[in-house]
Amino acid sequence: QKEVEQDPGPLSVPEGAIVSLNCTYSNSAFQYFMWYRQYSRKGPELLMYTYSSGNKEDGRFTAQVDKSSKYISLFIRDSQPSDSATYLCAMSALKGQAGTALIFGKGTTLSVSS
């Protein structure tokens, strides 16, 4: 079983739809959860960062973490064509003072049509 599982899609939705993107994980030591957005031929861009369980909202984006189920979600409200990108989940367990490796899902490709 991979440490982080993410459905690659592709996911196609009409403009204005609510999008739900999800990842599951197996390592109960993960405490930090992130969502990145990556446009084609660009570097990943940090969208959301959450610690432990709960919800975090930023504009049209909401991140949810359910540690009991080892499941995280990213919701996009009122989706726009500019949201078309690959979305990567990432997570980590804090690792002393030497920084920490992020473990990434493989990414879900989202296409929002106008």
Q: Give residues in contact with other proteins (CB under 8 A).
A: 32, 34, 36, 41-46, 49, 51, 88, 90, 92, 94-95, 97-102, 104-107
Query: Among residues 9 and 17, whose Cβ is nearest to other proteins?
Result: 9
d(CA 26, CA 89): 14
CB of 32 to other proteins, least distance (A): 4
Find all residues with CB under 8 Å of 94, minimum gap 6, and list them: 31, 32, 100
Query: Among residues 19 and 90, whose Cβ is nearest to other proteins?
Result: 90
Query: Among residues 14 and 96, whose Cβ is nearest to other proteins?
Result: 96
Pairing mode of beta strands 32-38, 45-51: antiparallel
Q: Using the 8-state DSSP alphabet, how is residue 53 labeled?
A: S
